Chains A and B, each alone.
Chain A
Amino acid sequence: MDLSAINPVLLIASLMVAATPILLAAIGELVVEKAGVLNLGVEGMMIVGAISGFAITVESGSPWLGFLASAIGGALLSLLFVVLTQVALANQVASGLALTLFGLGLSSLMGQSYVGIKPPQMGKLDIPVLTDLPVIGPILFGHDPILYLGIALTAAVWALLKYTRVGLVLRAVGENHDAAHALGYKVVRIRIMAIMFGGACAGLGGAYISLIRVPQWTEGMTAGVGWIALALVVFASWKPWRALLGAYLFGGVTVVQLNLQAAGVAIPVEYLAMSPYLITIIVLVFLSRDKSGAPASLGRIFHATH
């Protein structure tokens, strides 16, 4: 065993990369759930975003266009959920599950001709002096732009929900849609916008995996990250910064367990492999003991005449 081989600076830098897809998807889902909608289709929207972004990046040569396309792809798929749950008033849990299954199949179909292709790379942030700083440089100033977008989005969602009128209205819709409706807010319209935002974020998260973290396309490559993001939102008590913490924790343990393996730690690999899930659940269960965060109308169907 040689723990000195693990470089903490690089470890933190790479855990941020591992956490970003989860963070992006979780922040999107957080907004959706704050609006009172439970969309279990995160995994489906992520994988569709992953292939949309990958395909457009390969075709156009521009990762930026690819990320834009992934957000659009995720949002478009979420429209299906909108039609089912907001227009046809179908059960949200069943619709969300269907969305995931549909997304996985659709992405395999879309990705047929993109297996094994190398996508153009997005450059990393490179600020003279700052990026070269020891310790702080690689952690804070050496990443790709989307990683910063994820953190910025967390801050923006937090500020929006806490300080703005838009956030207040969104929360009102999620807490009591009848009251919000009586006050004259367009409950369905607000929820549709929230769902599409969630879809776009999930799409971005998916594309982060296929364009930056791996970078390659394979079927089912999101490998359950969408479900982790979903669980994270609940355990984080619908608080954006806790979602960030949870995502970094999960990403961190994922990276640490590989590091431990490479350093030859004598814990059986199987335990190491399950540790990210286990530790994230345990920590967040403790964090989520106050139940105040759950939107009261979460998962309930709204119909104006009821």
Chain B
Amino acid sequence: MKLTSLLATAALGLGLATAAVAADKTKVGFVYVGPVGDGGWTYEHDQGRKAVVAEFGDKVETVYVENVAEGPDSERVMTQMALDGADLIFTTSFGYMDPTINVAKKFPNVKFEHATGYKRADNVSTYSARFYEGRAVQGTIAGHMTKSNIVGYIGSFPIPEVIRGINSAFIHARKVNPDVEFKIVWAFTWFDPAKEADAAKVLIEQGADVILQHTDSTAPQAAAQAAGNVITFGQASDMSEYAPHPRVSSIIDDWAPYYIARTKAVMDGTWESKDTWDGIGAGMVGIGEISDAVPAEVKAEALAIKDALADGSYHAFTGPIKKQDGSDWLGDGETADDGTLAGMNFYVEGIEGDIPQ
């Protein structure tokens, strides 16, 4: 009897001790859709995680799980993180939206941050970057640079974020080059180098000399390099190992300031659910250095658009813009509201093909 109670006390003491240690540290979990070494999307999220560690040092403990499939698998991973005592969990892919909401219901004391989604709850925030601003800059360069007037676009999933990017790039490419056409291939994956490489090769074979990608690996860059006369843009990360050619510029996601701010809010107890959608101006979207493969005047024009987007004097979706079916969307000088952009499910006029349902 004595022994049992002694053991029980010891166990209780140990438990308290662990709890005390855990209470000292804020535990932040990250769920990644690809490997941290993908050189793109997940890599940048992990840079953000590292920035959190660098900022808070011993006061914070971070855990991450990479290569988590969207769907039930992710729900399991999040639940495990919450059970392990995470205070704040960043779920960094669109497909984690419903799993995040489900798990958040079960753990009301754990804060969740879901990237690129639109469903919120008392303990679920959403955050995203206005990648379409970067696409406007890319579209401008693409329109000037293409000689075949065919721009290849590797889409991941037909979700608003990707469609926004296609529309934004197309509008700005057409603006500088009325003959430009977009060929779009849907890969139905965020990260599958084999598929992305195949898609890029097919687009190049069909005459595209500019490849835009909304998938996360560097495989399309490698395919463009092998083809020789094709240019590409880094996606999510700088992908500078392919600069100055084929990679002529890039969209860089910079999550670090946001991750630090939100971790700080949890520490201070000031965290509350909100929706953050920042662009070039706030520094969440960066434009990677435009390489010398781009003529100086094109570079200057692209940078001018970037600056105008940054200071808010120009919106990437400024009318007149018609929808693909020819109906009016934005009148002259009118700009798109965030609600429409967040749920965008149509192509603008001039893009051929249908969005897969």
Residues of A within 8 A of B (CB): 5-7, 10-11, 14, 18, 115-116, 118, 121, 209, 213-216, 218-219, 221, 223, 254-255, 258-259, 261-264, 266, 268-270, 273
The contact of B188 among A254, A259, A273, by CB within 8 Å, is A273
When chains A and B are docked, how far (Å) is the Cα of A116 from the Cα of B197?
A: 14
B352 neighbours in A (Cβ, 8 Å): 264
The contact of A116 among B184, B207, B218, B357, by CB within 8 Å, is B218
Residues of B within 8 A of A (CB): 35-39, 43, 67, 152, 183-186, 188, 191-194, 197-199, 201-203, 205-207, 217-219, 222, 226, 241, 352-354, 356-357
Residue of A nearest to B196 (CB): A214
Report the minimal beta-carbon distance from B188 to chain A, rounded to whole angstroms: 7
B353 neighbours in A (Cβ, 8 Å): 264
Residue of B nearest to A17 (CB): B201
B354 neighbours in A (Cβ, 8 Å): 266
B218 neighbours in A (Cβ, 8 Å): 116, 118, 216
B36 neighbours in A (Cβ, 8 Å): 115
Q: Which of A6, A121, A209, A218 has the most CB of B within 10 A?
A: A218
Q: Which of A7, A261, A264 has the most CB of B within 10 A?
A: A261
Cβ-defined contact, B37 with A223, below 8 A = no
The contact of A270 among B184, B193, B356, by CB within 8 Å, is B356
Contacts A115-B36, A218-B192, A264-B353 aside, 15 further interface pairs with beta carbons under 8 A come to A6-B205, A18-B198, A116-B43, A218-B38, A218-B191, A218-B217, A223-B192, A258-B185, A259-B202, A259-B206, A261-B185, A262-B152, A264-B183, A268-B357, A269-B186
Report the minimal beta-carbon distance from A184 to chain B, rounded to whole angstroms: 47
Cβ-defined contact, B205 with A14, below 8 A = yes
A261 neighbours in B (Cβ, 8 Å): 184-186, 202
Cβ-defined contact, B185 with A262, below 8 A = yes
A6 neighbours in B (Cβ, 8 Å): 205-206
Q: Which of A6, A116, A255, A259 has the most CB of B within 10 A?
A: A116
A223 neighbours in B (Cβ, 8 Å): 192, 194
A121 neighbours in B (Cβ, 8 Å): 226
The contact of A214 among B185, B188, B194, B202, by CB within 8 Å, is B194
Residue of A nearest to B217 (CB): A216
Report the minimal beta-carbon distance from A216 to chain B, rounded to whole angstroms: 4
The contact of B67 among A219, A258, A263, by CB within 8 Å, is A219
Residue of A nearest to B153 (CB): A262
Cβ-defined contact, A218 with B183, below 8 A = no
Cβ-defined contact, A5 with B35, below 8 A = no
Q: A116-B43, A214-B222 are in contact. Are A221 and B206 (CB under 8 A)?
A: no
A214 neighbours in B (Cβ, 8 Å): 193-194, 197, 219, 222
Q: A216-B217, A264-B353, A268-B356 are in contact. Are A221 and B194 (CB under 8 A)?
A: yes
When chains A and B are docked, how far (Å) is the Cα of A254 from the Cα of B195?
A: 10
Q: A261-B186, A262-B206 are in contact. Are A216 and B222 (CB under 8 A)?
A: yes
Cβ-defined contact, B202 with A262, below 8 A = yes
Q: Which of B43, B198, B203, B222 has the most CB of A within 10 A?
A: B198
Cβ-defined contact, B356 with A116, below 8 A = no
When chains A and B are docked, how far (Å) is the Cα of A273 from the Cα of B183?
A: 17
Cβ-defined contact, B203 with A262, below 8 A = yes
When chains A and B are docked, how far (Å) is the Cα of A116 from the Cα of B38?
A: 5
A258 neighbours in B (Cβ, 8 Å): 185, 198-199, 202
Instruction: Provide 25 A-B residue pairs closer than 8 Å at the C-beta atoms, listed in order of the A residue.
Output: A5-B206, A7-B205, A115-B36, A115-B37, A116-B43, A214-B197, A215-B197, A216-B193, A216-B197, A218-B35, A218-B38, A218-B191, A221-B192, A221-B194, A258-B198, A258-B199, A259-B202, A261-B185, A262-B183, A262-B184, A262-B202, A264-B183, A264-B352, A269-B186, A269-B188
Q: Which of A121, A266, A269 has the most CB of B within 10 A?
A: A269
Cβ-defined contact, B222 with A215, below 8 A = yes
B35 neighbours in A (Cβ, 8 Å): 115-116, 218-219
Residue of A nearest to B152 (CB): A262
Minimum-distance CB pairs A-B, first 10: A115-B37, A116-B37, A258-B202, A116-B39, A10-B205, A264-B353, A216-B193, A5-B206, A269-B356, A214-B193
B201 neighbours in A (Cβ, 8 Å): 14
When chains A and B are docked, how far (Å) is the Cα of A59 from the Cα of B207?
A: 36
A5 neighbours in B (Cβ, 8 Å): 183, 206-207
A254 neighbours in B (Cβ, 8 Å): 198
A270 neighbours in B (Cβ, 8 Å): 356
Cβ-defined contact, B188 with A7, below 8 A = no
Residue of A nearest to B357 (CB): A268
Report the minimal beta-carbon distance from A49 to chain B, rounded to whole angstroms: 15
Cβ-defined contact, B193 with A221, below 8 A = yes
B198 neighbours in A (Cβ, 8 Å): 18, 254-255, 258
B203 neighbours in A (Cβ, 8 Å): 262
A255 neighbours in B (Cβ, 8 Å): 198, 202
When chains A and B are docked, how far (Å) is the Cα of A254 from the Cα of B191?
A: 18
Residue of B nearest to A112 (CB): B37
Report the minimal beta-carbon distance from A5 to chain B, rounded to whole angstroms: 5
B199 neighbours in A (Cβ, 8 Å): 258
Residue of A nearest to B191 (CB): A218
Q: A209-B194, A218-B217 are in contact. Are A118 and B241 (CB under 8 A)?
A: yes
When chains A and B are docked, how far (Å) is the Cα of A266 from the Cα of B352?
A: 11
Residue of B nearest to A7 (CB): B205
When chains A and B are docked, how far (Å) is the Cα of A254 from the Cα of B353?
A: 20
Residue of A nearest to B202 (CB): A258
Residue of B nearest to A10 (CB): B205
Report the minimal beta-carbon distance from B287 to chain A, rounded to whole angstroms: 22
Report the minimal beta-carbon distance from A63 to chain B, rounded to whole angstroms: 14
B38 neighbours in A (Cβ, 8 Å): 115-116, 218
Report the minimal beta-carbon distance from B118 to chain A, rounded to whole angstroms: 24
Report the minimal beta-carbon distance from B68 to chain A, rounded to whole angstroms: 12
Residue of A nearest to B40 (CB): A116
When chains A and B are docked, how far (Å) is the Cα of A214 from the Cα of B215?
A: 14
